[in-house]
Amino acid sequence: MILKRKMYDKLLTLKNELNGPKAYLIEGARRIGKSTICEEFGKNEYKSYILIDFAKCPDEVKDYFAKHMNDLDTFFMLLSTYYGVKLYERESLIIFDEVQMYPKVRECVKYLVADGRYDYIETGSLVSIKENVKDIDIPSEESHLSMYPLDFEEFCDALGDEQMCSYIRKCFVDRVPLENELQHKAMLLFKQYMLVGGMSQSVIAFLESRKDFDKADIEKRDILSLYRSEILKISRKYRSKALTIFD
């Protein structure tokens, strides 16, 4: 299930308004849907796309960035061959997923954007991406976008109640109360949102299980365990304090 996200519209606006090659770094917490929205964007808005997931891509692919930045024709040929995707000039997108796992790739963005053949989107998780840049020259060509869990509007849209948000917004602008029955419906939606939250997998589990809150809760607990594991990877001098705050 693909959830409709505001970040998609933001990327589309930037793509249509700006001429020439672009590189965007989408920053946000783990499991909020960054990779999914980037892949969906590449699938719908470009003739072809390649997604390089640095959390699991082989050293062979990482070596392309280390060895071939001075020969981009060879670099793109190797990428295209490895992933089995034909690249089209100004009509293809290359996604660097989980760049905090291989931060050196961010130094390459300057050369890739200057080359001008393709567009680029990077994704990175907040804690790790700030930890792993000690010896990296951050490129000025990299535009940062922040992404968050689903907000209430996105949650209503996922539940098929987008008209309710439009109605709430109109009442707010007009400074009038909601009709009594619709007020009850709006509060029910809001209480569901407060219980399920905005993490993509939790919302999907809630919807696919016909609104089973237990299924949504299982996903949230898995995410909390993942976050705790992520904290264990940060610098030792911050780790104990961060874990105490998190717990």
Least trusted range by pLDDT, from 27-36, 112-121, 131-140, 179-188: 131-140
pLDDT reading at 130 higher than 60: no
CA dist 106 and 152 (Å) reads 33
* Model pLDDT, residue 137: 65
pLDDT reading at 138 higher than 90: no
Amino acid symbol at 11? L
CA dist 39 and 188 (Å) reads 33
Q: Work out the mean pLDDT of the chain and round it to a whole number.
A: 91
* Model pLDDT, residue 195: 97
**In the chain, where does the domain assigned CATH 3.40.50.300 lie?**
6-146
Provide the b/e sequence for 21-44 (b: ≥16 CB within 10 Å). Answer: bbbbbbbbbbbbbbbebbbbbbee
* Model pLDDT, residue 76: 97
* Model pLDDT, residue 20: 72
pLDDT reading at 129 higher than 70: no
pLDDT digit string, tens, across residues 11-21: 999 998 877 77
* Model pLDDT, residue 237: 87
pLDDT reading at 133 higher than 70: no
pLDDT reading at 1 higher than 90: no
Is residue 84 very low, low, confident or very high in pLDDT (cuts 50, 70, 90)?
very high
Q: Is the pLDDT higher at 140 or at 118?
A: 118
Percent of the chain topping pLDDT 90: 77
Are 123 and 35 in contact by the 8 Å Cβ rule? The answer is yes
> What's the pTM?
0.88
| Three-state secondary structure call for residue 16 | helix
| Range 6-146 has CATH code 3.90.1150.10 | no
If we measure between CA atoms, which residue out of 174, 137, 167, 138 comes closest to residue 153? 167
Is residue 22 very low, low, confident or very high in pLDDT (cuts 50, 70, 90)?
confident
Structure tokens at 161: 């109640």
pLDDT digit string, tens, across residues 29-80: 889 999 999 999 999 999 999 999 999 999 999 999 999 999 999 999 999 9
Are 148 and 32 in contact by the 8 Å Cβ rule? The answer is yes
